């Protein structure tokens, strides 16, 4: 049997209760990583955990609303105490908000999109950068969208949040250029997820790429041998 590609690595994955996050968690665990999984829906987290354990993998569940920023800091402290480092950070969790005219959006909707898609990722960097530096090959992967490549009416909050995330991640990448940490953004493309279904309710998800189809792109960026840094990768 060939060695597992992530054997002994510690990986944190946000939004791991379903969709892309759950698929990445299952794949990482199958390659030997101990995965720390966060999400709001505890039922979905348990399903992901069951699938991982049934396949012989190991996971730690952290039910968490990423808007509770203090809990992100406490999660960092708990990870440091238990594992002493973090090898892989996957900032996957995101919310769509409401599609509609920019001026008609309710302030609380705008704030949730910015909090989850941008500010929470800043808190993750703030809390886990010291632990990534303790890894021999720290890897940070943030999920972006090709929506940043154009202008799409009625998508203002989501598009603005992903553009901000890209700038945040690229800036962080430049700051850790001389360390063993590599930071990249991954655009999964059009994938059958709950968010996609919310934006395009008439679409047949069976005609789209599935989360398991694009999970290997995350694995490539998580490997200690990956040399990519500061890039936007399309799955």
Q: Which residues are catalytic?
A: 158
Residue pair 16/184 in contact (Cβ under 8 Å)? The answer is no
Nearest by Cα to 218 from 53, 29, 83, 73: 29
- Distance, CA of 2 to CA of 206 (rounded, Å): 33
- Give DSSP secondary structure letters for 24-79: HHHHHHHTTPEEEEEES-HHHHHHHHHHHHHTT-EEEEEE--TT-HHHHHHHHHHH
Quick one: angle between helices 107-114 and 156-175, nearest 10? 30
H and E: helices and strands count for the chain: 8, 7
């Amino acid at each position: 049997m060939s060695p597992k590609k992530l054997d002994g690595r510690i990986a944190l994955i946000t939004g791991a209760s379903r969709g892309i996050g759950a698929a990445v968690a299952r794949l990482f665990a199958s390659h030997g990583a101990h995965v720390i999984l966060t999400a709001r829906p505890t039922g979905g987290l348990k399903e992901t955990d069951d699938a991982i354990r049934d396949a012989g993998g190991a996971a730690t569940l952290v039910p968490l609303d990423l808007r509770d920023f203090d809990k992100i800091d406490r999660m960092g402290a708990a990870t440091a105490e238990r594992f002493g480092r973090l090898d892989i950070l996957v900032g996957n969790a995101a919310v769509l908000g409401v599609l509609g005219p920019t001026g008609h959006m309710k302030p609380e909707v705008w704030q949730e999109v910015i909090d989850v898609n941008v500010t929470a990722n800043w808190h993750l960097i703030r809390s886990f950068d010291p632990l990534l530096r303790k890894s021999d090959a720290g890897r940070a992967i943030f999920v972006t969208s090709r929506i940043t490549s154009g202008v799409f009416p009625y998508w203002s909050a989501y598009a603005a949040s992903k553009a901000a995330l890209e700038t945040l991640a690229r800036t962080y990448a430049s700051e850790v250029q001389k360390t063993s940490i590599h930071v990249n953004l991954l655009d999964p493309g059009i994938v059958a997820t709950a968010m996609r279904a919310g934006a395009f309710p008439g679409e047949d998800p069976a005609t789209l790429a599935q989360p398991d189809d694009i999970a290997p792109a995350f694995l490539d960026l998580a490997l200690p041998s990956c040399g990519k840094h500061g890039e936007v990768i399309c799955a």
